[in-house]
Structure 1
Amino acid sequence: MKRKFSVISIIIVSLLILFIQPVGAVNVGGEPRSDLRTPTQSFTTNFSDYSMKGLFSTSEQTFWVASSWDVQNVLVHLEYRATPLADTQLSSMTVAINDTYFYSFRPADNTGGRHGVDIEVPLEFLKPGYNNIRIDGYMRTQDSLPCVDDVSEANWLDIFKESTVSVQYDKNAFTTSIESFYNRFYEVDALRYQESAFIISDSGNVAETNAALLGIAGISNQTIYDDGYFPLLSISDPSVSQIKNRIIMMVYDQLPENYRSTVDQTGLLNDQDALLTIINEGSDTNVLLITAKNDIALINAGRMLGNPELMNQLISNTKVLGRIENIETQVYEEETYIPFAGSQGTYYNGAFRQTKEFAVNYPANRSIADASEFYLNYRYSENLDFDRSLMTVYINDVPIGSRKLSMDKAGGDEATILIPNDIDISGSFQVKVTFDLEIKDLWCTLRQGEMPWAFLTPDTMLKINSVASRDLIFENYPAPFVTDYSLNDVTVVVPDKLDINAKSTLAKMFRVMGRYTKGNTGSLAVIHPGEMNEAAIASNIIGVGTFQNNSFIQNNNDKLFFKFNDEGTAFVSNEKLVLDPGYGSTLGSAQLLSSLFNKSGRATLIVAAPLDSELVSIGSNLGEMKNLSKLTGDGVLADYDGNLLSYRFKDTINPTIAVVKQIALREDAQIFILVSVMFLILLLVGLVFVIKKNGIQFKKGGWKK
């Protein structure tokens, strides 16, 4: 009887496990499972259009798997088109996940039509973080001749941007610590689907806005993808109910009664400190309540959100932040030496051209100067045709140099490649390193077992000499408001009452600014127009709002490039553009001016519109990374249809590097100058000895012996 009861118990427990844990789910993050799960969600990453050319070709796409996701399924959908000359009995496509092959197929037909195929990825090969899908193509054409087909232009395969990688997952419904909430708040799915937001009171308290903008900037610099932003909402906004992850940033006196009661129950909040506490509100809603009884403590708590090392130490559900507690990160400066091949190096595999791309993040206010160079350390296989094999480096798809591969250096090669002066690069950029790995008579000898390879070692790096730009134009934005990875003494002048469009514009702007920062250093102050003081006058100023609701904008209307009419209801024509009054009333503007108070090295950015609703169009450009490149000059108008009108009003500033500074950057120039100075000194000393030895003196009338 007892044995029968045990068997029944085991069966019941097994059935419960099946219901609680989805079959085939992989707990990638290693977090404990819970009965309270979120509904199944899907996060999709699109491929880019890519044309694979040659007998052998490769296309790659990375996608993200968050540590908090319990992955149930990963599906690759490929949209492709193969050459009509493809031999469908010999040609093939092979798919790998993280360098492990798991699926192969032949092109559907050789009609040259477009085809789609769905491929399920084995979950056991996934890992938290970035994962890599690679498609290797082998395109053999019909009636091809040995050796000739290797270089034929008829071998091609197109991968279309409609190709996707879709990850289906669920996760724990609630967070139990500040650390777990913090990491969920800025995860890729929360950003893309606007599941996370900052919430302030309806009071118009500038300390709350200040703390929230510091939080947005500080968290944004840790995000993986560029898309999405963190909305800034008021507590009474109806859309708050749709937000799953909420950071409520309010002074204690403005808290709704239910939150104030929660704070009082902790008994931890005094007059000097800030309190952070996690609240689970049901329906998959998580709240990080941040409050203080004074403005300075609240702003300090907002700054702490930009310190990930500290935030990830908060494994409890409550934190009291002392007013004098050190929460700032280190000060980051522009690097001179930047490794970019990864801590484990980068591996290339396969014949013909193999390409890897690397993103190099650099301060937006800096441009690459003379004497910048690449140092590459690499090795490669010895079965290459060294008459045709080489390595090439590109910056933003512009080739800057190549080096031939050689048998003698296959076990360890290196190259130093100078960056040409004619390449104008500011801020972040892309580096591409390709290896042309050619093998003699590859098709003729069928040496598939000797596929070539190359390896970039971790010692590969970029040496950058840079200069700060003084040109106040949108090509350099967000400089000067962000310089050398830090907010640069910024004052934001906001209306006494922020409406939803102004809050959205600010949230988007600081999302972008945050992407150019590291850590949480730098100064940010938010004030109302009537609170202008000496510190604000001496800072970089951002004014946001309308002619009617922001007197700072109204009082400086005469200094704008695009001015408002007397009523403030429309922008008026100027020397650059004739504006119809009706059209002028529908525009938003961003105008980048020198300091309105004649403070050297300072700037003023006016983001304004006749109505708050018109701020949306310009905010979408200042607040989306993909749109920044569209902004040029120093005066921009935007309408609801997405049209941009960009003009330059200020004169061009000459390059900021003096000739002496340019020379000082070059080692060869430094050596030449040193040798020249020493030679002149020796010449002068010799001349003095000659004069003294011969008794020559300077007297009235000239030199005399």
Structure 2
Amino acid sequence: MKRSTITIVLLVLLLGLLIEPASAANYGGVPQSDLRTEPQTFVTSFSDQSMKGLFSTAEQTFWIAKDWDVETVLLHLEYRATQLADTQLSSLTVAINGTYFYSLRPADNSGNRHGIDIYVPLELLQQGYNNIRIDGYMRTQNALPCVDDVSEANWLDIFKESTVSVRFDKNAFTTSIAAFYNRFFEVDALRYGESAFIISDSDSPAELNAALLGISGISNQTIYTDGYFPILTFSDPAGNLSRNRIIIARYDQLPENYRNQADQNGIDDENAVLVLLNEGSGINTLIITAKNDVALINAGRMLGNPALMNQLQAPVKLLGKTEDIKTEVYEAETYISFAGSEGSYYNGAFHQVKEFTINYPANRSLTNASEFYLNYRYSENLDFDRSLMTVSINDVPVGSRKLSQSKAGGDEATIPIPIDIDIGSSFQVKVTFDLEIKDLWCSLRQGDMPWAYLTPNTMLKINSVTSQDLIFENYPAPFVTDYSYNAVSLVVPDQLDGETANLLAKMFRVMGRYTRGNTGELTVLYPDEMNETALYSNIIAVGTYQNNSFIKSNNDKLYFQFGEDGTTFLSNEKLVIDPTYGKTLGSAQLLTSLYSKPGRASLMVVAPNQTGLVAIGNNLGEMKNLGRLSGDAALADTNGNVQSYRFKAPKNPTIAVVQQISVNQEAQIFLLVSIMVIILLAAGLIMVVRKNGIELKKGGWRK
């Protein structure tokens, strides 16, 4: 080959390398370059944050999914600095996962907002959560040494318009049930509506039952709260828009091409089969089918066992009718470690905060002897007259401890938690270190920067009891208790329309986030299928007066009742309702058992028409709106207005002494010792009386 030809070939190859896009950070295995999805962008927004003090920190986490091939990560920062900022000395430094990569000076001190775009180095990313930290050093003009560090004029605001945008693509198709399963509930699939459940048009309770169990089991694994998994039917055109589909249907209701797939993969009369198909155009479909209801529901429940689903590395799974697919039974924990397996590190002077989210059952209340145990270390160059550690729950301070030079290498604190703090559902724990240094401005050196470290041994001890109040503040209890569905019977209309199906999808997406595993009991029924077991269960009824006869037959038990024709809500002792306005309302009502069964409850999600049902469903079906409901009855109109009322008298908030003792080991020991002391004193008194010949006679004790 001629030298000139070789030169041209080399130049072409070099040019190809130069114009080729930068390699993506691949987290999903080997890219299939000819079968890629179109690039898309997932945006995480900041919350408004105010950075105060000479040294301050703001943080934001964002998510990198396992199967994303990341092209770029762009940090857009919107900020405003104090008008007194010395722009020659003040600075902002940005870190990703603890590694600094960018610094800047505030643009000016005009008090105006400014924006800046910063690309994050791909090599510093990691799968899962990533942390952006912004360290601020805000020096004010003409500041006096040793005074500026406590000035209220040192501030910088970061606005909620700040974002982290992750641009990525991924393999168009999945090759195993496990890969499909994880893609189905990934954050991008949820936010952009790429995943859906599809059932047949036959109004099969078993299909809906399996789908709702699947939604619940998948929801408790999701990272973000936004988005839901719609329930569609074969005839719904929206099903064609979903890239990730789980079809749950009886074998005889499947379209022919799907039945052929089930036949080819060994379906029989007893067992269920799961078959993954790549249908082209980036569409992945998991068919779940069986020839009997028990096997179909069992297969739907299996979706709530992530350990088992992640073992399915093939595109087909034959599931035995009696195969054990349940997870362990989860209970409310007593000891909760929250600082992470590697602990939490605090770096820098002054006020340093770390926030931790604790998930806990919604139906629990604190009792005595709940406490924090904190194990920590800190630097020895602090001003120990002013440095301290503080712990709080939901921004309510629980306790503080001063830091001590003699214990800098290993300190600990046990802080009791007051029982009036609400821990239902999830709650936030903040551990704050105020790390003060003497004459910081006078002797500022990088080597003197203070630090603190919260060890993995740090934990929360929670003693709790079940709350008995049947109110929305405790919802989804009693339908979900201690992370499981609590013998729930769901009564649905005989003919399930699309709006009601999506209301159920949203409700069970929310309820599923309060569960763990898949061990709870959920049964879907038509109104005429109420049996003895259902009468003893916790009942959820959804529908209108016209399409759900169960609601109609129990109208007299509702707090907000329907008129005779069921087209509007009637006034009651709490609210006068205009008949026309009553037609626009939906209602959620928490009642005690409709059949007087002790310890059972009923949730009636009702409306005169579908419009009102959607209005109330937008509150029960979205985590961000759930907090708008309180008391035991709520009304929602089509304009988004919500009104809550309480009809039942509140339970006595004082926890019974026996309940407290039952969960408090120290109290049990104290009670036992007290009883023994009383017995000994009584025995001693009897012996003294007998020894001295004292007898009880008429007129009193006499010798």
For normalisation by structure 2, the TM-score amounts to: 0.97
Q: CA deviation at 1:261?
A: 1.6
Match of 1:631, SS state, is coil
* Aligned counterpart in structure 1 of residue 542 of structure 2, from 517, 541, 544: 544
Instruction: Tell me which amino acid in the other structure corresponds to 2:409.
Output: G
- Give the aligned partner of residue 189 of structure 1: 188
- Cα gap change, 1:251/1:656 in structure 2, threshold over 3 Å: closer, same or farther? farther
- % identical aligned pairs: 71
- Give the aligned partner of residue 274 of structure 1: 272
- Cα gap change, 1:649/1:14 in structure 2, threshold over 3 Å: closer, same or farther? farther
Deviations 1:330-373 (A, max 9, x none): 00000000000001100000000100000010001111222211
- Give the aligned partner of residue 567 of structure 1: 565
Report 1:221-300 matches (<5 A): 221-266=220-265, 268-300=266-298
- Give the aligned partner of residue 156 of structure 2: 157
- Cα gap change, 1:482/1:31 in structure 2, threshold over 3 Å: closer, same or farther? farther
| Structure 2: runs of 5+ lacking an equivalent | none
Q: CA deviation at 1:264?
A: 1.8
- Cα gap change, 1:552/1:335 in structure 2, threshold over 3 Å: closer, same or farther? same
Q: CA deviation at 1:425?
A: 3.2
Q: CA deviation at 1:421?
A: 3.1
| Structure 1: runs of 5+ lacking an equivalent | none
- Give the aligned partner of residue 365 of structure 1: 363
- Cα gap change, 1:179/1:682 in structure 2, threshold over 3 Å: closer, same or farther? same
Deviations 1:651-689 (A, max 9, x none): 111137312332455555444433322222222332343
- Cα gap change, 1:147/1:244 in structure 2, threshold over 3 Å: closer, same or farther? same
- Give the aligned partner of residue 302 of structure 2: 304
- Give the aligned partner of residue 385 of structure 2: 387
Q: CA deviation at 1:258?
A: 1.4
- Give the aligned partner of residue 609 of structure 1: 607
Contact between 1:390 and 1:437, CA under 8 Å: does it hold in 2? yes
After TM superposition, the structure 1 stretch with the greater mean CA deviation from structure 2, 411-420 or 669-678, is 669-678
Instruction: Tell me which amino acid in the other structure corresponds to 1:596.
Output: L
Q: CA deviation at 1:617?
A: 1.3
Deviations 1:577-617 (A, max 9, x none): 11111111011111111110001010100111111232211
Instruction: Tell me which amino acid in the other structure corresponds to 1:433.
Output: V
Report 1:163-174 matches (<5 A): 163-174=162-173
Q: CA deviation at 1:235?
A: 1.1
Contact between 2:54 and 2:148, CA under 8 Å: does it hold in 1? yes
- Give the aligned partner of residue 531 of structure 1: 529
- Give the aligned partner of residue 53 of structure 1: 52
Q: Does 1:124 align with 2:123?
A: yes
Match of 1:442, SS state, is coil
Q: Distance in 1 between matches of 2:30 and 2:627?
A: 40
Instruction: Tell me which amino acid in the other structure corresponds to 1:113.
Output: N
Q: Distance in 1 between matches of 2:9 and 2:680?
A: 99
- Cα gap change, 1:250/1:122 in structure 2, threshold over 3 Å: closer, same or farther? same
Q: Distance in 2 between matches of 1:79 and 1:12?
A: 43
- Cα gap change, 1:36/1:159 in structure 2, threshold over 3 Å: closer, same or farther? same
Q: Distance in 2 between matches of 1:4 and 1:491?
A: 80
Deviations 1:635-662 (A, max 9, x none): 1111121100111111111137312332
Contact between 2:488 and 2:523, CA under 8 Å: does it hold in 1? yes
Report 1:291-440 matches (<5 A): 291-440=289-438
Q: Distance in 2 between matches of 1:17 and 1:365?
A: 60
- Cα gap change, 1:15/1:498 in structure 2, threshold over 3 Å: closer, same or farther? farther
Match of 2:210, SS state, is helix
Contact between 1:501 and 1:613, CA under 8 Å: does it hold in 2? no
Contact between 1:29 and 1:128, CA under 8 Å: does it hold in 2? no
Instruction: Tell me which amino acid in the other structure corresponds to 2:155.
Output: W
Match of 1:399, SS state, is strand
Q: CA deviation at 1:10?
A: 8.3
Report 1:627-638 matches (<5 A): 627-638=625-636
RMSD over aligned Cα atoms? 2.1
Match of 1:360, SS state, is strand
- Cα gap change, 1:697/1:473 in structure 2, threshold over 3 Å: closer, same or farther? same
- Give the aligned partner of residue 508 of structure 1: 506
Large movers: runs of 4+ above 3 Å = 1-19, 29-34, 663-672, 687-705
Contact between 2:393 and 2:429, CA under 8 Å: does it hold in 1? yes
- Give the aligned partner of residue 178 of structure 1: 177
Q: CA deviation at 1:203?
A: 0.3
Q: Does 1:460 align with 2:458?
A: yes
- Give the aligned partner of residue 103 of structure 2: 104
Q: Distance in 2 between matches of 1:13 and 1:204?
A: 60
Q: Distance in 1 between matches of 2:662 and 2:480?
A: 27
Contact between 2:586 and 2:612, CA under 8 Å: does it hold in 1? yes
Q: CA deviation at 1:418?
A: 0.7
Q: CA deviation at 1:257?
A: 1.2
- Give the aligned partner of residue 578 of structure 1: 576
Contact between 2:261 and 2:275, CA under 8 Å: does it hold in 1? no
Q: Distance in 2 between matches of 1:321 and 1:62?
A: 39
Contact between 1:31 and 1:68, CA under 8 Å: does it hold in 2? no
Deviations 1:492-518 (A, max 9, x none): 000111111100110001001110000
- Cα gap change, 1:687/1:602 in structure 2, threshold over 3 Å: closer, same or farther? same
Q: CA deviation at 1:23?
A: 2.3
- Give the aligned partner of residue 23 of structure 1: 22
Match of 2:486, SS state, is strand
Q: Distance in 1 between matches of 2:9 and 2:210?
A: 54
Match of 1:444, SS state, is coil
